[in-house]
Structure 1
Amino acid sequence: MTTQLTFDELGTPLRDTTFVVFDLETTGGRPDEDAITEIGAVKVRGGRVIGEFGTLVDPERGIPPQVVALTGITQVMVTGAPPMRTVLPAFLEFAAGAVLVAHNSGFDVGFMKAACARLGYAWPKPTVVCTVRLARRVLTRDEAPSVRLSALAELFHVPVAPNHRALVDAQATVEVLHRLLERVGNLGVHSLEELLAYLPEVTPEQRRKRTLAADLPSTPGVYLFRGPSEEVLYVGTASDLRRRVRQYFTASEGRKRLREMVALATRVDVVECSHPLEAQVRELRLITAHKPAYNRRSKNQAGAWWLVLTDELFPRLSVVRTPRDGALGPFRTRRVAEAAQETLQDAVPLRACSQRIPRKATASPCALYELGRCKAPCAGRQSPDDYAPAAAAFRALVAGEDTTSLTTLAAHLDDLSAAHRFEDAATHRDRVSSLVRALDRAQRLAGLAALPELVAARPDGTGGWHFAVVRHGRLASAGTAPRGVRPMPVVDALVAAAETVVPGPGPLRGAPPEETGVVLRWLDQPGTRLVRCDTPWTSPAGAAGAWRHWVARAEAGRDQYRPAGH
């Protein structure tokens, strides 16, 4: 027998729920290797269409012939279409706050998550409804031997015939969704929470575990699922702890691993927080401390990669785990750091070899010397004094004192374009853009980490304030001043009670990169105000941020690096 939800748990009526039904066309079936060629989405509420989103997407790679035959999307059609880095933020904005719906949602959501990860966007973790799963739950095998979209459209006499084009298939999926919701409505399913609980993956045993959320507060904070041996299974953050944790027991979380985690959980502990920034930071720290088995990210905040100059007579660039003063980073993976290293070596004449070179070097020059990419200090053909400006150029670039190296890279892009070497130009443009973003982020994080103390405030939306005391890039204290409460006494109390932070070595003064990044994003949001900052928060004159406009122009004019007819 299904346990009846309480009135408080009924949640959002389906008629008031905003759904974004979407479909993708791709170059293949693997999110980590293939790319999106088209996105179509329809926003509906209460049975009415309130918006549509549709665009071809340049996959920036070839489309296999069998995919062209299936979808009808050719290489010519996507030539000149916006790339995913342009389309993704627009789609995320269109779908913000809505329940995502897709036919075989694992495929479509998998590609969107991969795109977010590749382009540096946080996946917003929306509630997802799969019409395949819902159809299998609602319809018998006799009634619907197949739950392919075309079969369901025919079964329900949908006026829009699916044709493997994204927007048309999304429109057909809307009609299928409405027919399925009519069916579950006859079974007493009238709210989003009831719909999610109705899906087959949630067992009665898991539903009974809703009692674990019964006494939780409806405040921002962090929740910890604990297992039978008191081990921490999973750590998450929420703006409403009770509502978020309760969703785990009503199938709102569709990931198989987390359903398995819920089956093991015996208790949920919470840490109430003043506001979302404090919750995010505490989540990171708790994940790092407990390394929960069911959390996949942020378990090792010290696991970033850095580019440093080696300490030798003829220094070279090296990718390392431990940063020191003058390092460039952090980079999430070694591969990304090595890509930045290769780009820098095109601009700064540092040697690429890894051998140690004595003051009196007598080795034979390598092939790089013959190619004009090295002056052969290993063969004694370049003195330490002649080599020193290369190391100084790298230090000046990282410190934001001189961007001559970026000017060199930009000039090389113009040369490649003028020589009609379009593919090389496109590759070079992307490498330089990535390097500029890495430098910009590194300099901004280092600038924040250099500040002994900063106090900032953001409106809480109800006439009060959220406060953060930041010391050397780390959140040292957080609090709120509700509407009607004098804010400055609250600030003074938070500063007096703030954690003491002793700066360490490296550009981030020992602060975890991910935490400093979270704090910086909070400070960057519109409406944030600086309350107190004893040391001026400045940006160096040669900071890479001045090159953001170059990146925007280069990427906006990407078609000039495409051969005619492609």
Structure 2
Amino acid sequence: MLPGRLQGAQQVGGGGFAVVDLEATGSSSRRHRVVELAVVLLGGDCSPQGEFSTLVDPQGPVGATHIHGIEDRQLKRARAPRFAEIAPGLLRLLRGRVMVGHNVGCDRAFLAAEYARIGVEFPAVPEVCTMRLAALRDPAPARLSLRACAEAAGVAGWPAHMALGDARATARLFAHYTRERPQGGRAYVEREEAALAGAAVLEWPKLPVVTGSGALWVRRKGNVPGRKIVPYVRNRSA
């Protein structure tokens, strides 16, 4: 591991959960690109372990600025890394962990597409979807958006459509669902334990040498408002 790249992180690459959220230039993982990425690390007991975020140069138009708030000039000014440059560090964060997301299949599709562009097959990482967990609640939230589910669980006060803000909210929502299990809680526990066990033995790909790989991560300028669930690892640190 390169000195300083993951300074301040705890249990990077260890067991537990990796809560992922991303912003993209559009809705299609085949045609659009990741423009911001965040990962919040949780232990197997949902204890906070670290958080990471970066802008990503999509090597083209940023797309829906009115949704994610990111502009081309912002990426240029920040010297945001390309996905290929952060790909090795991201794999280190995810290795050995269950991937968690709100509509996690969408996040996975974008990550798989980005890795495919550099010739790497993204592995079949065990996943937990907080949107599906919300649908199992009794009563279930009236809507299954992250904001609606979070508000129903008492999680509030974060900026939507900022990757780190959404990842923090998803992590808090997941921790809430883990504490307040629905009826049939034993089956929930068994599925969670099986996912953790599967993540621990999953084989991860070796990345080809990419020019600039290991680039420093560049957080969106300014603090992300809202409650932090974990201490933030220093800017440009993943």
Instruction: Give CA deviations for 1:440-471 in whole Å, capped at 9, x if unaligned.
Output: xxxxxxxxxxxxxxxxxxxxxxxxxxxxxxxx
**Which residue in 2 is equivalent to 1:71?**
68
**Which residue in 1 is equivalent to 2:179?**
182
Equivalent residue letter for 2:163:
A
Counterparts of residues 414-453 of structure 1 (less than 5 Å): none
**Which residue in 1 is equivalent to 2:149?**
152
Q: Secondary structure, in 3 states, of the residue corresponding to 2:58?
A: coil
Counterparts of residues 2-13 of structure 1 (less than 5 Å): none
Equivalent residue letter for 2:83:
M
In percent, how many aligned pairs have the same letter? Answer: 32
Instruction: Give CA deviations for 1:16-38 in whole Å, capped at 9, x if unaligned.
Output: 96010010100001111100000
Counterparts of residues 15-414 of structure 1 (less than 5 Å): 18-45=16-43, 46-64=45-63, 67-79=64-76, 80-141=79-140, 144-184=141-181, 187-189=184-186, 193-195=190-192
Equivalent residue letter for 1:131:
T
**Which residue in 1 is equivalent to 2:222?**
none
Equivalent residue letter for 1:171:
R
Equivalent residue letter for 2:82:
P
Q: Mark the CA change 1:139 to 1:167 in structure 2 (over 3 Å): closer, same or farther.
A: farther
Q: TM-score if structure 2 supplies the norm length? A: 0.71
Q: Secondary structure, in 3 states, of the residue corresponding to 2:26?
A: coil
Greater percentage in helix? 1
Structure 2 CA distance, aligned partners of 1:132 and 1:101?
10
**Which residue in 2 is equivalent to 1:561?**
none
Structure 1 CA distance, aligned partners of 2:193 and 2:89?
27
Structure 2 CA distance, aligned partners of 1:172 and 1:113?
23
Residue 191 of structure 1: how far off its partner (Å): 6.7
Structure 1 CA distance, aligned partners of 2:122 and 2:155?
32
Consecutive unaligned residues of structure 2, counting only runs of 5 or more, are 1-13, 216-238
Equivalent residue letter for 1:75:
D
Q: Mark the CA change 1:151 to 1:164 in structure 2 (over 3 Å): closer, same or farther.
A: same
CA contact (8 A) 2:136 2:182 kept: no
CA contact (8 A) 1:105 1:128 kept: yes
Structure 1 CA distance, aligned partners of 2:52 and 2:80?
15
Instruction: Give CA deviations for 1:367-418 in whole Å, capped at 9, x if unaligned.
Output: xxxxxxxxxxxxxxxxxxxxxxxxxxxxxxxxxxxxxxxxxxxxxxxxxxxx
CA contact (8 A) 1:150 1:161 kept: no
Instruction: Give CA deviations for 1:166-191 in whole Å, capped at 9, x if unaligned.
Output: 01100000111111112227643377
Q: Secondary structure, in 3 states, of the residue corresponding to 2:186?
A: coil
**Which residue in 1 is equivalent to 2:211?**
552
Consecutive unaligned residues of structure 1, counting only runs of 5 or more, are 1-15, 198-242, 245-251, 253-275, 278-517, 525-547, 557-566
Residue 74 of structure 1: how far off its partner (Å): 0.9
CA contact (8 A) 1:53 1:91 kept: no
Structure 1 CA distance, aligned partners of 2:22 and 2:162?
8
Structure 2 CA distance, aligned partners of 1:86 and 1:72?
23
Equivalent residue letter for 1:19:
F
Residue 193 of structure 1: how far off its partner (Å): 3.4
CA contact (8 A) 1:153 1:161 kept: no
Counterparts of residues 488-503 of structure 1 (less than 5 Å): none
Q: Mark the CA change 1:50 to 1:62 in structure 2 (over 3 Å): closer, same or farther.
A: same
Q: TM-score if structure 1 supplies the norm length? A: 0.31
Instruction: Give CA deviations for 1:307-339 in whole Å, capped at 9, x if unaligned.
Output: xxxxxxxxxxxxxxxxxxxxxxxxxxxxxxxxx
Q: Mark the CA change 1:147 to 1:29 in structure 2 (over 3 Å): closer, same or farther.
A: same
Structure 1 CA distance, aligned partners of 2:183 and 2:46?
16
Structure 2 CA distance, aligned partners of 1:106 and 1:20?
14
CA contact (8 A) 1:189 1:195 kept: no
**Which residue in 2 is equivalent to 1:462?**
none
Residue 139 of structure 1: how far off its partner (Å): 3.8
Structure 1 CA distance, aligned partners of 2:15 and 2:183?
18
Q: Mark the CA change 1:169 to 1:187 in structure 2 (over 3 Å): closer, same or farther.
A: same
Q: How many residue pairs are counted as aligned between the two chains?
A: 191
- Over the residues paired in the alignment, what is the CA RMSD in angstroms? 3.1
Name which one, 1 or 2, has greater alpha-carbon Rg: 1
